Chain A
């Protein structure tokens, strides 16, 4: 069965420092995509970054990078130079390509950035 695991319910980071949010996944399908979404207290889900299972390079989008380790089935999100506005819930999600494109989400990690 497909599953996403986020083992850090909450994280603190000092402003301007980097932080890594952990995500492990489980699937036996060879074709899948991994996503990170940010959910501020206002509730909307904001897409951050995407990694395809066949992508050779780790994805990067501005201050966000995805540390994709396929053999370990991990897809950790790295946020560099944290800002106060980064405080939010962060969800890791997986799309299995032969299942219609639905997303399977983890439980989320609440990130708090300290000034």
Chain B
């Protein structure tokens, strides 16, 4: 079966610009997660969707980050405007019976 797909793989932007990331989870997985992984740290949950509803967005900086999951399948994560501290890898994951399956991530560099 196909894994979790993410694009783009790399993105470089200047601070105050906007950026969007896309995720396509494993077919049939109802739960989708976005994590932020800053260099040298473990991933931290930003937002969790169950189908197209938000389950947990308590760690999402809502003044600049937004996310949606159209029709309960694909999801997009947007940052507007970006700050230097947003430089990180953004990982999308979908949930199987036990474990979460991760995509390859998008490495964002904000200059």
Interface residues on A, range: 20 to 34
Known interface pairs A44-B104, A44-B105, A45-B91. Does A103 touch B98 (Cβ–Cβ under 8 Å)?
Answer: no
B48 and A101 contacting across the interface, CB-CB below 8 Å: yes
Q: Is the interface of B mostly helix, strand, loop or mixed?
A: strand
Name the residue of chain A whose CB is nearest to the CB of B56: A100
What separation, in Å, do the CA atoms of A91 and B102 have in the docked complex?
13
Residues on A with beta carbons closer than 8 Å to the beta carbon of B56: 99-100, 102
Chain B: minimal CB distance from A11 (Å): 16
20 A-B contact pairs sorted by A residue (CB < 8 Å)? A33-B98, A42-B104, A43-B107, A45-B43, A45-B93, A45-B102, A46-B102, A47-B99, A47-B100, A47-B101, A91-B43, A93-B42, A100-B31, A101-B48, A102-B56, A103-B35, A103-B45, A103-B93, A104-B45, A108-B40
Which residues of A approach B to under 8 Å, CB–CB?
A: 4, 33, 35, 37, 42-47, 50, 91, 93, 99-108
